[in-house]
Amino acid sequence: MYAAILGHLGADVVAANALASVVFDLAVVVSLGLASGGAILIGKEIGENRLEQARRDASRLCKLALFCGATGGILILLTRPLLLHIVPLTETASGYLAIMLMINSYYIIGKSINATVIVGVFCAGGDSRFGLITDALVMWGVSIPLGLLCAFVFRIPAMVVFFVLCLDEFVKMPFIYRHYQQFTWLKNITRDFSAEEGTAQGT
């Protein structure tokens, strides 16, 4: 849907977005790897019933996600002048690309933190439903409707539409942070097979 919205704003927007997406994906790959690796680490600790250690490591993971996101944003900003110089785009598309890369340089921070918390922390405790609901509500209830309104009803400039589409991570961040602070995700969801075996033998 994002691509469909941007695709109706002109060929220059599509060309700039294609390149900006590739740069963003390369910059965010470490953060996504951190999220997946963190899920394994915290899941193992929860499975061993080391809940306090899991809580501490979850906090460290969030701080590391912030660092990785900021580093990715700096990387995007550092490569921005080079990309604008070497990539053969029209003047209009180059202008769009410059703005998109600037927006992505801070959007990646929200993406890194949210992905780490939802995929790495919540899922490790078996709380994947909250992330699913939050992602679905923000995407289909906020970002896409606003993007459609801005692009086809209000007909505001293309880069403002792109900015609106990149608000999703920051819209859901307060809800994710509140849920994280409640620590309802921190529970041992594994079954105690040794206890079950003892019960079965006693029976």
- Long-range contacts at 49-54 (CB < 8 A, ≥ 24 apart): 49/188, 51/186, 51/187, 51/188, 54/124, 54/125, 54/186
User: Do 122 and 178 form a contact (C-beta atoms < 8 A)?
Assistant: no
Q: In this predicted model, what pLDDT tens digit does every residue of 1-24 receive, in sequence order?
A: 888 899 999 999 999 999 999 999
Mean of the per-residue pLDDT values of the chain: 90
CB 121 within 8 A of CB 62: yes
pLDDT attached to residue 135: 93
Angle at 189 between CA 184 and CA 193, to 5 degrees: 155
**What is the dihedral sign for C-alpha 105, 109, 110, 111?**
positive
59: pLDDT strictly greater than 50: yes
Q: What letters, b where the CB count within 10 A reaches 16 and e where it falls short, cover 24-35?
A: beebbebbbebb
Whole-model pTM: value is 0.86
Mean of the pLDDT values across residues 128-132? 91
